Every structure is written in structure tokens, then in C-alpha cells.
Amino acid sequence: MLWIAFCIPAIAQQARPEPFAGTWTMRLGDRNLFVLDLQASGANITGTMARPTRFSGTNGVFANIRGGVRRDPVAHAELKDGVLHLVVQNANDPKDEDKYAMTVHGDTATLAYEDIPGEAIEPFAFHRASPGAQVAIDWEPNRLYTASDSDIPSAEMKTIYTEDQRVREQPSIDWSQVNRTDAERREQTRKLLAAGALHTGKDYEEAAFVFQHGDSPNDYLLAHTLATIAVSKGTKILRMRQNGEVINELDPPALMDSVSHPIDGVPVDVAISPDGSKIAYTFASYSCPIGASCGARTATGYTAADHLTPPEALSGHLYTRNPSWVGNARTLSSAGYLHQVNTHDLGPGTTDVHWFDDQDLVGQGNSTDLDDAELNRQGDLLAAVRGYGADSRILTVKLNAPAPALPSLMCLTGADEKMSGPSWAPDGRRLVLADTFGLEVSDAHPASDADCPSWTFTEFIAGGSEPDWGPADVNPQPRTKQDTQPAPGPGPGVEPPGPKAGLSVGSAKLKAALKSGLVVRVTGVSGTAKVTAGISKSVARKAKLGKRALTVGTGTAKAGADGSASVRVKFTRRAAARLAKLRSVTLTVRLASGLSRTVTLRR
């Protein structure tokens, strides 16, 4: 994969290689992953890049670091317009070459792949170091590492967690007091998160417990998110109830990738079967195994949900990603060119079977990639992500017969660079997806392709991602640990219900609101009420404010004793100037808790 032992030919006379000279390190916490030593002599540069012999990495997370230290030669170098371009040979295979671009900014530098898109592999950040720096060799075999990694758990988080548990272990519990101090502990934990003070898997696990004892769906969601981060730190899958309570945890073993090397690390694309009995997961990494080219590789495996089962018990080797369930014994998954949508029937030794590609729908000349496919429960409609980057769209097809019969193209959404995660509602007609705005939900899918232009989506949750429309109603129950709470106090971990939050927008003309602010009446809140006003992608385009949904105004006010507040939402100067040119503007006015209203202002 990377790196580098330099012996670089002469560079153009006008180039100045001196800023690149010296020792540079890329660190994961307190450990050096890469050490780059460069020496400048006239117009020439020589040097070495030291790196672990083996490792895997994806999205800034590194694992499986082992095998000693390796040095790779640089076959060619050119300094042009302040950028050092390098062609690097694998020390064990001269035919395996990678191209990099190095830029320097004082005592920091970046090294980016020139032959891999930047959105696929982020540039590596280096810092100038003292001569003699060495690549670390004390890597733990079953641990993940990040740039902000630390071996030292947060003592403050530990104190908060210990108190969270202590108050629940008393022989006599005053739940009103516990609920009050729970809120204080959540606020303390939020501050630690905002300050970037949590590093280890244990830190995030303890933070998840604190928010598990929350009093709102947002707290439960944050508990789930923190538990997911803890999982990523610890390479485990957690099976949880809707309230965030952990049922069990699973640490799946390494799978085999397409070059017969073990692949491990963070389980991604985790999906549980409709009956809850099995879990599908994917390992992904960018690796440089000996005897094979560097590249991104994936492997998918399965386990029983209530206990860990060997991967070979439910499948053979699957070099795919993004598994989704079709019933309880079949999945769909993707594997790139000529293997875009595949089926797999679970069983020992079984492998995936190719179903169809984009070229089967639109012809080879107009084809691109399909990924992340999901079939509705009725088995008659399938949705998938089509294309890459700014041309990403959601495509739907109609099944004329079960696989392997080819489906028929139905609808294609507009393009959005963050388009992802299509998931069907239980009724099989509506679809939720993620895009630049967040989550959007469709109306009923058209019965024929001729009606696709009228198929519409409604903005649902700003900033949301990775939607998965489950069959069960949302119903987070109290934690079982607190079920012994004496009556007649409030429910376990739940404060007595207060007034229901409300949001209303006063009548206003567009010009007046943009100049003086939009008055929003809020009820049923405590503390400081924060309100935002946002516009959709279409409004942003009309106002020439870009191609994305965005927030154009904010306002705050302190709620009174009755839980009400009058918030004046002030618009940004740029947004006010642009929106004033429109005849009407539709805004989504939203409380920080998620409650929202849509209002249209006219001249």
C-alpha cells in the first residue's frame, strides 16, 4: 500500500526541494505508523519511508498491524508547482507501483494517492519530527487505531459512569433525585464529547450507559450511536433493544478476502434478519498484501444473533458488501463491476450468485455502478444506489419474476452526492433515503414508469443518515434494570411527563421576516429553546444559494416557568439578500428536539 524508500532523480532547476527535507511521521495516538525521512541535495531528494509490513485501513481506522517494518523504493519523483509527485515501488514486487502527491505547509504535510480518488482514501497527515523517529512495533493484534487514539481512558468519564451506576445500586432509591442527577451527568458527558476528550472504546461504552438512562428518544439515539462508536473501537457487534439496552455483544472472527488473506476490524453494513435470528456483516479494508496489488477489499459473513457462530456454518467465502435480507435465508449484496447485484442463499459452502448489473437495464454504453440494493417485503420492487459522487441517484426496478429473471427499470431520482441507504417501508410502497439534507421519505411508488416524474420525496430528518425502515413500531421500553422502582414514583429512568412540545409560526410577510426576523412561538420546553429555519435543495437553487438544503436562520430564547418562549429567528445576511428576490419562500422551522413545521412566506 504505501511506502516509500526514496532515491529520486534530478528535479527541475527551478524547483526547491528544501521544504520537503527532514523527518516526517504519521501517528496513530502516540505511535508512529509511518516515518518519512527526506534529504535534499541540490535539486535531488533521497530518503526512505518506513511502514509496517502488513496492515489494513479504512476511513481513518487501522487494524491488523503486524509483520515488522518495510521500506519501499521510489522509482520516480517530480517537484512541480510546489507538489512532490512520487512513484513508489513495492519492495517485494517491483511491478506493483503507487503514485502519491506530497504537499508541505510549514511543519505539517499531506501525502495523497494520485491514482485513487480523494473521497475514497483520505490524504495521510504527517508532522515534522526529530531525526531518528521509528515505526512503532508494539501494535496489539486485535485492536483498531485512529489518529486521535489513546491508551489512557478518560478519568472524568469513568467518574461520571461510576456515579451513574452507584445511584442505581442503593437499597432505597429516590428516583426523582436520580432523574435530576442523570440530566446533570448527561450534560457533563456532552461537554466531554464536544471537547474530544473521549478516546478509548471503554470511554464510549461508559458514555453510552449514561445516555441509556436518558429521558427522550434523542438520548436513546445518542446512546445507540455511542455504543456503535464503542463497537468500532472494540470490533464488536452489539444487539440492542429499541431503548438502547444491550442484549448481547458479538466479536466476529476474521473472514477471508479475495486474495486469501484474513480481513478483520470494524464490522460495517450490519443487518439483522427479519426474524431477528441472524446477523449479516461486512469487513472492509484497504490493504497491501505480499504478492498482490494494493486495493480496497471487502468480505461478508453471518452469525447467529444470540451467539457467535463460525462464518463457514452459514456461507462460503463472500467478497461482497452492503448485505440486505430477502426473507430469513437469502441476502442481496454488491461487489462492483459485473457483480453489482447478487443473491446468496445461506448454507455451508455456499457463495453469491450474480443477478443483474446496470448495463442489463440501460445498455452497456450508458451504464454505471449499482450498490446497496434492497428488495421490498412484497418482492416486487427493488431500490439501489446508482452512480458515484455528484451523480449518485436512487434507481428502482420492478420484478417480473423472482431472480434470476431480469427486472424492468422503473424510476430514477435526481442526483445528490450523498444519496445512499434506500430502505422500503413495511407496506413496500414508500421509500426512505439519505441525501445532503438528511433523510427524505417518498410518497407511494408509481405503478408504472410513466408516472415516475410525479414521484415525490418529503424532507424528514435533517442531518440523518443510514436509514433502515424496520417492521416494528418505535416503542422504547424502560430499562429492565430499573423495573424494581417502587410505586407511585415515575417510571424507570423516566421523568413524569410534562407539557407536550409545541411550535407555531406567526403570520409574517417575507420582506419583514427577512429584515427583522421570524417570530416562532414554542411551548412545552425547558431551558433555552433553539429554533432553526431551513430551505430545501430546490429553494436553495432558486435563490442561488447552492445545490444543497441548508439552514438560513437561527434564534434562541429562554423558556419561562410555563415552558413557553417566543423565539425570533434571524436570517443570515447572505440568505436574506438572496431570498428577498423570490416571490415566496417555503421554510422548515425546527426545534432542536426535532419538532418541525413548514411555513410559506410571501411578499
Q: Tell me the pairing of strands 408-412 and 528-535.
A: unpaired
Strand residues in 106-208 grouped as ranges (E): 108-113, 124-129
536 within 8 A of 437, measured Cβ to Cβ: yes
> 151-177 burial, b if ≥16 CB within 10 A, otherwise e?
eebbebbeebbebbeebbeeeebebee
- 472 pLDDT band, cuts 50/70/90, is low
For cell 455528484, the residue is: 390
- Burial-class residue 306 by CB neighbours within 10 Å (0-12, 13-18, 19+): middle
How far is it, in rounded angstroms, from Cα 591 to Cα 504?
A: 11
507 contact partners, CB below 8 Å, separation of at least 6: none
The secondary structure element, H or E, covering residue 163 is: helix 155-166
pLDDT at 2: 38
Residue the block writes with cell 438502547: 244
Closest CA to 331 of 319, 318, 347, 343: 343
Q: Is residue 145 within 8 Å of 28, Cβ to Cβ?
A: yes
Q: With cut-offs at 50, 70 and 90, classify the pLDDT of residue 352.
A: very high
579 SS3 class = helix
Scored b (16 or more CB within 10 A) or e, 424-447 reads: bbeebbbbbbbbbbbbbbbeebbe
Which tens digit of pLDDT belongs to each residue from 174-211?
888 998 999 999 999 888 876 667 767 678 778 888 88
Q: What's the pLDDT score for residue 484?
A: 38
Which range, of 71-80, 227-236, 555-564, averages the lowest pLDDT? 227-236
Phi, psi of 424 (to 5 degrees): -85, 145
State the pLDDT at residue 413: 92
* DSSP string over 509-543: -HHHHHHH-EEEEEES--SEEEEEEEE-HHHHHHT
212 closest CA partner among 198, 226, 232: 226
- For the ranges 12-26, 262-276, 324-338, 507-521, which has the lowest average pLDDT? 12-26
Q: What are phi and psi of 27, to 5 degrees?
A: -115, 145
pLDDT level of residue 18 (50, 70, 90 thresholds): confident
**pLDDT tens for residues 377-434?**
999 999 999 987 778 899 999 999 999 999 999 999 998 888 999 999 999 999 999 9
Q: Report the chain's mean pLDDT, rounded to a whole number.
A: 81
pLDDT at 196: 62
Closest residue by Cα to residue 460 from 524, 390, 536: 536
- Which of 49-58, 294-303, 360-369 has the largest mean confidence? 360-369
Q: Which three cell numbers stand for residue 85?
A: 509527485
Q: Is residue 4 scored above 50 in pLDDT?
A: no
The span from the CA of 536 to the CA of 570, in Å, is: 18
For residue 332, what are the CA distances in angstroms to 262, 301, 348, 568?
Answer: 23, 12, 17, 49
Give the three-class secondary structure for 97. strand
Bridge partners for 50 per DSSP: 35, 71
Top-ranked range on mean pLDDT: pick from 239-248, 446-455, 459-468, 503-512:
446-455
Chain position carrying cell 427524505: 440
pLDDT at residue 486, as a whole number: 38
Please compute the mean of the pLDDT values over residues 58-85 and round it to a whole number. Answer: 80
265-321 per-position pLDDT tens digit: 778 789 998 888 999 999 877 566 666 666 668 899 999 998 989 989 999 999 999
Q: Which of 72, 111, 79 is nearest to 95 (CA)?
A: 72
Contacts of 111 (CB under 8 A, 6+ apart): 2, 26, 36, 100, 101, 102, 123, 124, 126
The pLDDT score that the predictor gives to residue 498 is: 47
Closest among 554, 552, 597, 599 to 576, alpha carbons compared = 552
Burial 313-347 (b: 16+ CB within 10 A, else e): ebbebbbbbbbbbbeeeebbbbbeeebbbbbbebe
- 191: Cβ–Cβ under 8 A, 6 or more apart, which residues? none
**Rounded Cα–Cα distance for residues 578 and 510 (Å):** 12
> Other CB atoms closer than 10 Å to residue 555's CB: what's the count?
21
Alpha-carbon gap, residue 350 to 571, rounded angstroms: 58
Q: Does 483 have pLDDT greater than 80?
A: no
Distance CA 336, CA 326 (A): 20
511/418 Cα distance (integer angstroms): 33
pLDDT one-digit tens code per residue, 80-129: 888 988 888 888 778 878 788 899 998 999 988 876 654 446 788 999 99
50, 134 in Cβ contact below 8 A? yes
The cell numbers describing 229, all together, are 462508536
Structural domains of the chain, with CATH: 5-129 (2.40.128), 155-234 (no CATH), 357-474 (2.120.10.30), 502-602 (2.60.40)
**Where do we find the cell 442481496?**
332
Q: At what angle do helices 201-212 and 155-166 cross, to 10 degrees?
A: 30
Say what angle helices 175-194 and 155-166 make with each other, to 10 degrees: 170
274: left (phi over 0), alpha (psi -120 to 50) or beta: alpha
Rounded Cα gap, residues 261 and 63, in angstroms:
14
% of the chain at pLDDT higher than 90: 28
412: closest CA among 423, 398, 396?
396
